[in-house]
Chains A and B, each alone.
Chain A
Amino acid sequence: MSSSDVSPMSTTSPTAPVTQIPSARALWKSQDQHSGALQDWAERQHPSLLAPLSDEVARRDLFRLLGASVALAGFSACTRQPDEKILPYAKNPETLVPGNPLYYATAMPWATGAIGLLVESHMGRPTKIEGNAQHPSSLGSTDCFAQASVLGLYDPDRSTTLTRAGRISTWNDFLTDLTAQLSSQTGKQGAGLRILTGTVVSPTLAARLRAVLAAYPSAKWIQYEPIHRDQARAGALAAFGEDVLARPDFAAAKIVVALEGDFLGNGPASVAATRAFSKARRARKAKSTINRLHAAESSMSLTGAMADHFVAVRPSELTALAAALAKAVGATFEGDAGALSAKAQAWAIAAAADLVAHKGECVVVAGDAANSDVHALVHAMNAALGNVGKTVTYTEPVAPVSIDQTAALGELAGDMARGTIDALVMLGVNPVYDAPADLAFKTALTKVSWLAHLGLYQDETAEQCLWHINEAHYLEAWGDARGSDGSVALVQPLIAPLYSGKSAIEVVNALLGKGGVVGYESVREHWQTVFAAATFEHQWRSALHDGVVPGTAPETKSVSPRSITIASAKREEGMELVLRADDSAFDGRFANNSWLQELPRTLTRLVWDNAALMSLATATRLGVKNGDVVELALGKVTVRAPVWLVPGQADECVAVQLGYGRTRAGSVGNGVGFDAYPLRSSGGQWSATGLRTTKTGDTYQLVTAQMHHSMEGRDLIRVRESGHIEREGPEEKIPTVWKEYEYNGNAWAMVIDLGSCTGCNACTIACQAENNIPVVGKAQVANTREMHWIRIDRYFEGEDFDAARVRFQPVPCMHCENAPCEVVCPVGATTHGPEGLNEMVYNRCVGTRYCLNNCPYKVRRFNFLLYQDFVTESVKLQRNPDVSVRSRGVMEKCTYCIQRISQARIQAIREGGRPLVDGDIVTACQSVCPAEAITFGDKNDPKSAVAKLREEPHHYGILEDVNTRPRTTYLAKVENRGTEHEG
C-alpha cells in the first residue's frame, strides 16, 4: 500500500482494518506528493519511520496510539500562548530592514555645549549612543553621561503625566490656566512673570524666549546651571572687557598647565579636549616624545591624575599660585600675590620654566572652579607667552545669552521672597534641590502663587509646583543645540515621546500663545530664517543627516587685553571645603541612572555613594579612617558625610561631590549618598573657608569596586619616560605543551594605550549599553559581584600616599591563546573560536565558575542572582537585540563585541566576499574612547593598526609569564616627568 496518502490514525476502525480510502487519492498537496517523489524521499531518508506506516494497523496499535494521543493532548494544554496581534507595516519605511539597525544623527544638549551623536535604532527603539564623527564636539566619541542617557529615556521612574497640584491633568487644561495667568500679566508687561531655565544652548529656544521677553518687556528670563561658568565669565570680563571663551588647542601645545582645570573630565566638553590632548600624548616608535601636563588642583580630578607634575593646593592658595606663575612668565597684573607654600612654589617654578621655554607652544587653562582672578591671570599668561592665536583662540561663549547666573538666580529669589512674582515657569531645572543654600529657594517659591515646572522627573521642584509638565527626553523631542565648539546640531527625536512629554520649546511656544505648535515646526521655522528659502529643504535634510549645520562654528574673536587687578590673595588658615560636580550624578540630574551610579568613580572607585575626600595627613589629624562619618559644619549648616582617603587631596581640605542625597530622584537615586548642596552658598559655590570637621564616631559602609590599591610590585602597568620607550630586554616566548592554534583568516586582537587612557570610564558604560549588562546594586558590588565586562583598574604608586601617582588600566577579557578558562569548563561552554576569540556559549553554561577561578585576569562575571530586569517593560526597549540577555546562573564576559564582528563579516560577504579591513569592526569600548586609547583589529593583517601597535617597543601583555598569551595587550604608560621633576 502507498503510505503517502494514508495515515494510521484516520483510516482504521477497530473491527475491520481499512487500508485505503479511495477518495483520498484525489487529494495531494504538492507535485512531489502527487508524483510519489515524497515517498521516495521518505524511503531513502527515514525507512524506520516509514515501516510502521506501511504495515496494516492492528487493533491494539490503534488503541495504543489513541491512548497516547489523548494523554499527549493534555500536555498541549499546559502552555497557552498569549493572544497577540501582529501588525505589519502597511507601507514599509524605506531603509528599514528588520534586524538591521539604523543610525540617526542627533545631539545631547548640555550647558557647556551639546555633543553630537549617532544613535543606533532597532525597529524604532534607540538602543545605543555613539559619537558623531562629523560633529566637532564629538569626533566619534562620547563621555559617560551621553552613553548613560539612553537609559534615562527608558527610566521607569520618569514623570509620565502632566499634573496639576499632584493630580493628573491635561495639556489643554494647562494651556487654559496659562492663558489666564498671561492675560493678567499683559497689563503690567509681564512684570510678575519669570522664566527659569538651565543654560540654554539651543538657538531656537533662545529665540523663542527672546520673543517672550519682547511680548512681556518687564518679564525676565533667568538661566541657572549648578555647574556654571560664572567665574570664567567674570575672568574674561576682567581680562578683555567682554565675555569670551578660551579655546585651547591641546593637540598643538607641548606644555599644558591646568589650574583647577579639569579639561579631561566633567561632561561632554571633555571629549574633544581629550581627543586633542591624547594626540600630543601618544608615544610611538616614530615619535616617542610627548607633551607635558602640569596640574594644580585642590582635589585630584582626571586631569590631575593624568598630570606629569601635580600639586595639591588649597582653594585659597590657588590665586597666589596663579599670580606667582604669571609673574614668573612675565605677565603683568596689579595686586598682591600673597605667599605660597614651599610645595606649590616648587611646582610653580618648574611649570613656569617649562612655559617660558615653550613660548607660543604651550597653554595655560583654568576650570570653572577657579575664581575670576585666576581666569584673568590665565588670560594674561597666555598673552604674555605669545600663545594667543597659536595654542589658544577666543570665541563668543556657547550660550547665546551669557549672564551672571548666580547673580540672576539671587535676584529671582529676592524678587520671589518680596512677593513681586506672580508666575514662575521653570524649564528642565531643579532649583529646590540645587540652588545655593543661602537663597532659601524653596521658601521663596511659596510666595509665588503660580508655579509651573517642566521636568523629566517629579522631582523636588515639581513637588512644590502647581503645574508639572512631564518633559520629553532629548531622544524624544525636536530641537537644536550648539556644541561645545559652537557649531549647531539639530536634535532629532529617535522615538515618539513615550509618555506624550513636552519639550522646553513647546512650553515656551505655549507662553507665546502657540500651545499647539509642536517642536518640529518651531525648529524648522527657526532655521527657515537662517537657511536660504530656495535651498532650505536640502540644507535641512543634509543637516539632519550629518548631525551638524555647516558653517555655524563661531569665528575666532580678536581680543584686546586690559590691565588686570587681582583681589588681595591671602592664604586662609583652617579647614576648607571643596565642592565638585560628581563623576556619575553630575549635579544630581543623573542620580536616578543606575548605570552611572554603579560606575566606579574615577579616582575613588566608589559606587552608589559620594564621600568626603581628604588626604591621609588630614585624616590622621582628625583621627578618622575610610568609612568614618564626620560632621561638616559651615556657618550654621551641618552635613554628615563618610570619609574616604585618596591621593591628590590638599591638606586641611575636604572635597565633597554634589548630586547626591536626593529625596525625589526616583527609586534608584533616592537616599543615595549625602546632599552637599546645603554647604553651597552663592558666595562659595566651589570652595569655602571656615569649615569645621568633627568626628562623629559613626561609621558608614562605602563600597568600592577595588579593594587593593598597590600593584604589589607586579609588572601590570609599565611606565616609560617620554623619548625612552625602547624595549627592556628581549621578547621571549615561553613554550607551551598545548598544540598551538593556527589562524589562517582573521585573528582579532586589541591594544590599549595606557599612555592615552585618562581613566574616564566611558568604555565601561559603553560596553554596558552595548552588551545588555545588568546593574547589581550596592550590596552586590560590596561582595565584588559587579558585572562590568571592561573595568578600569586603578593603582596608586609611590611611598607617600598623599603624593602617590595614579595609574589606570582598562581590563577587558584578554582572549588568551592559551586560555586557562577553556580547559577547565566541564561542559565546553567557553571555547576557542577559529579567529582566536574566547567565546562564551551562554546556553551551554551550567555555572560551575571554574573558569572564573582559573582566569588570572579575573575578567569573568557570573550571574549569581537574577540580575537582569525581565519585568520592567520600558527597560526592555533599551536592550540590544543582537546580544543575548543573560539570566541567572550563567557566566559572561567581554566578547570583543562579537555581534559587531559578525555584522561586519556578513556585510563583507554581501559585498562580494571582500576581506575585512580596519574600521569595519569597531568595538563599543573602542568607539566611545575619547582618547583613542583602544585599537581593535586583525593582527594577521600586517597593514592593520593593531598589528603595527603590536610592533611598538613599549608593547607588552600582562601576566605573560603565566603563558596565557593574551590577545588584549597594552602599550606602556609614557610619562613626561623630565629629569628636573624626579623624586
Chain B
Amino acid sequence: MQPTNDAALQTSTAQPTHDLPVIAPGHTLASITDKITSIVLRRDTPLAWAAGLALASTGLFFLVISIAWLLAKGTGVWGINNEVGWGFAIINFVWWIGIGHAGTLISAILLLLNQQWRTSINRAAEAMTLFAVACAGMFPLLHVGRPWLAFWLFPIPNTMGVWPQFRSPLLWDVFAVSTYATVSALFWFTGLIPDLATLRDQAKNIWAKRIFGMLSLGWRGAAMHWERYEIAYLILAGLSTPLVVSVHTVVSFDFAVSIVPGWHATILPPYFVAGAIYSGFAMVLTLMIPLRSAFGFKDFITDRHLNNMAKVMLATGLIVAYGYVMEAFFAWYSAAPYELAMIHNRMFGAAWKSYWALILFNVAIPQLLWFRGVRLNPMWLFMISIVVNIGMWLERYVIVVTSLERDFMPSAWADYYPTKWDVMLYIGTIGFFFFAFFLFIRFLPSIAIFEMKSLVPRRDAGGAKGSAASSTKEGTHHS
C-alpha cells in the first residue's frame, strides 16, 4: 500500500488507528537498507536539498553576525534592561530545550515501554534533540554579560578555592543541560554505530568508506558486538529517562525558585515538562511530515506514527492548559496583590495580546486533534504543529517578559522591546538547527536501518543481509 492523504482518510474510517501499520507492507530487509542508505550514498545531490541547505545557511550567517556583534558590543545590543533582565535569550533557551525533549522521550521512554512505533522516528528525533540542545546551549552562554567568563559556572577546582554558588538554579541548569547534552549525544551516536557500519559496507566512495569506517568504531555485527550494544543502549536509555523529567524541571526552577510574581509558582515543574514534550512533539511533526514526503519515507513513517504523535500532543497540551488554569486560580486564591496584578496584567493589561494569542495557539487550536480525521491528515497536523511551536514560544515570552515588566515596584515598571539583534540571533539558531538537520539527513541515515529491519515480519526476514542483526533486535524487542 502506498498511502496518500486521501487513502489514509478512507482507510482510517474503517480501521482502528492502533492497527495501522508501523511499516508499510511489502518491505524486505534489503529494500529497507537500500531505501535508507541510498539517500546518504547517492552521488548526486538533490537540488531541493541544496536549496534548503542554502536557506538554512543564510540563517547560520545571521547567527555568526549577530554573535559577533553581541560579543563586540555587549548584551546591550538586545532589548533587555534594568527592569526586564531576561528577554529573547532565555525565552529561546527554554523553547529550544523544550523541543529537545521529544527526542529523548521517543528514544528512551518509548524504548523502555516497548513502543515499536518509535523505531522509524527515533533517529531523526534524537538528532533534533541534539541540535535543539546545541541551539539552547548557545543562549545561556551568550546572554551573560561576560561570556568569556561563563566557565565560572562550572565547578572547576582552582587555587583560590572559589566555587560556584550551589543554591542558584542557574547552576543546577548548568548541570542539567550539560548532562542532557552529553547523554543525548552519546545515545544518538551509540544508536548510529550499526548503521554507520552498514554505510561503510555499502559505500562505494573511498572517502565515505573511510569516514564511516572510522565512525563505526570497528563494528562487525558480531554477536558479542550486539550484546554489548544492547546493554549500552539500554543503560543510556535508562539514564535518559529521568532526564526527560529532570531537565525541564530544573529549567523551570530558574523561575519557580525566584520571587517574581508569575515565576514563583509550584505548578511550574510539571507544567514545564508537559510543555516541553508538547513542543517537542510539535517540532518532530514539523520535521517529519516534510521529510517523509521529500524522501519517500511514507512507508516507514506511517499514519500510525502521525496519529500517535498527535495523541501525545493532545495529552500534553491538556496538561499545559491545566497549568494555565491553575496559574490563574492560584493567583486569585493567594489573594497576594502582586500575583493578582500579574495575572490581571497578563489577561487584561499591557500583555493581553501575547497572553490570549498563547491561549489560542496552545489551548484552543490543538483541540482539533480530538478529531481522527485531523490526526490522520498530514497537512492539518503540520499546520497545528507550527501553531503549537509558536504558541509554546509565546508561553515562554509571557512567563519571562510580562512577569518582569510589571513586578513589585510600580516605579520600576518598564516595557521590553526586542531589537533586531534579538530577532537575528533567534533566526540564526533556527538557521543553525536546520543547517545541522539538512547535513544530518544527507550524510547519516535519518531512520535507524537495523531497527527498521526488526519490524519486518519474520517470514520475510530470511534475506542475505542483516539476519543476525535482525534476530538480535527481535530478541530485545519482544522479550
Using a CB–CB cutoff of 8 Å, the interface residues on chain A facing chain B are: 706-714, 716, 780, 783-786, 791, 793-795, 809, 811, 820, 823-828, 844-850, 852-854, 856-858, 860-866, 888-891, 959, 962
Contacts and interface: CB of A to CB of B under 8 A. Distances in A.
Contact of B146 (A795, A850, A889, A962): A889
Contact of B168 (A709, A794, A823, A865): A823
Interface in B140-186: 143-146, 149-150, 152-153, 162-165, 167-171, 174
A707 B83 CA distance: 12
Interface size on B, as a range, is 35 or more
30 contacts: A708-B410, A712-B341, A713-B337, A716-B409, A784-B81, A785-B76, A785-B82, A809-B411, A820-B258, A820-B259, A823-B257, A824-B167, A824-B169, A825-B165, A826-B164, A826-B168, A826-B171, A826-B174, A828-B165, A846-B144, A846-B146, A846-B149, A846-B152, A847-B75, A847-B145, A858-B412, A861-B82, A862-B145, A889-B146, A890-B145
Q: Which of B146, B150, B410, B417 has the most CB of A within 10 A?
A: B410
Contacts of A710: 410
B79 interface: yes
Contacts of B152: 827, 844, 846
B145 A863 contact: yes
A91 B145 CA distance: 46
Contacts of B332: none
Contacts of B474: none
A828 B162 contact: yes
Contact of B170 (A809, A848, A891): A848
Contacts of B75: 847, 864, 889
A848 B85 CA distance: 8
B21 interface: no
Contacts of A845: 145-146
Given A783-B79, A826-B164, A856-B259, A846 B410 contact: no
A849 B85 contact: yes
Nearest to B167: A823
A844 B145 contact: no
Q: Which of B164, B168, B417 has the most CB of A within 10 A?
A: B168
A962 B410 contact: no
Contact of A847 (B81, B146, B174): B146
A824 B168 contact: yes
Contacts, number: 157
A711 to B, nearest CB: 6
Given A823-B168, A856-B259, A889-B145, A864 B76 contact: yes
B153 A826 contact: yes
A857 B82 CA distance: 11
- Interface of B: prevailing SS: loop
Closest 5 CB pairs of A and B: A847-B145, A889-B145, A864-B76, A865-B76, A849-B85
B408 interface: yes
B73 interface: yes
B270 interface: no
A890 B165 contact: no
A712 B257 CA distance: 26
B74 interface: yes
Contacts of B149: 846
Contacts of A711: 410
A854 B153 CA distance: 19
Given A846-B153, A866-B74, 16 more contacts: A708-B411, A710-B410, A783-B79, A783-B417, A823-B168, A827-B153, A827-B165, A847-B145, A850-B86, A853-B404, A857-B408, A858-B83, A858-B408, A863-B74, A863-B145, A889-B146
Contacts of A713: 337
Nearest to B163: A828
Contacts of A708: 410-411, 413
B145 A865 contact: no
Contacts of B337: 713-714
B408 A959 contact: yes
Contacts of B74: 863-866, 888-889
B386 interface: no
Contacts of A811: 409, 411
A864 B143 CA distance: 11
A817 to B, nearest CB: 14
A747 B175 CA distance: 36
A250 B226 CA distance: 95
Given A784-B81, A890-B145, A853 B258 contact: yes
B257 A824 contact: yes
A711 B169 CA distance: 31
Q: Which of A710, A791, A857, A889 has the most CB of B within 10 A?
A: A889
A563 to B, nearest CB: 52
Interface string B401-417: 00010011111111101
Given A707-B415, A854-B260, A891 B409 contact: no
Contacts of B82: 784-786, 852, 858, 860-862
B108 interface: no
A791 B85 CA distance: 18
B80 interface: yes
Interface in B348-377: none
A446 B176 CA distance: 76
A848 B150 CA distance: 9
B145 A850 contact: no
Contacts of A784: 81-83, 412, 414
Contact of A889 (B144, B162, B409): B144
B81 A848 contact: no
Contacts of B80: 849, 864
Nearest to A857: B409
A848 B143 contact: yes
A793 B83 CA distance: 14
Contacts of B415: 707
Contact of A891 (B145, B153, B171, B413): B145
Q: Which of A844, A849, A865, A888 has the most CB of B within 10 A?
A: A849
A724 B257 CA distance: 41
Nearest to A963: B259
Nearest to B341: A712
A959 to B, nearest CB: 6
A853 B86 contact: yes
Nearest to A961: B336
A856 B410 CA distance: 10
A891 B74 CA distance: 13
A313 to B, nearest CB: 30
A713 B408 CA distance: 11
Contacts of A709: 410
Nearest to B263: A853
Nearest to B75: A864
B69 to A, nearest CB: 12
B145 A888 contact: yes
Contacts of B413: 707-708
B170 A850 contact: yes
Nearest to A891: B145
Interface in B373-426: 404, 407-415, 417
A106 to B, nearest CB: 36
Contacts of B145: 845-849, 862-864, 888-891
B81 A864 contact: yes
A627 to B, nearest CB: 15
A264 to B, nearest CB: 22
A709 B410 CA distance: 7
B85 A853 contact: yes
Contacts of A862: 82, 85, 145
Interface in B256-315: 257-260
A888 B70 CA distance: 12
A738 to B, nearest CB: 10
A854 B259 contact: yes
A610 B255 CA distance: 40
A850 B85 contact: yes
Nearest to A858: B412
A943 B164 CA distance: 40
A776 to B, nearest CB: 9
A794 B162 CA distance: 41
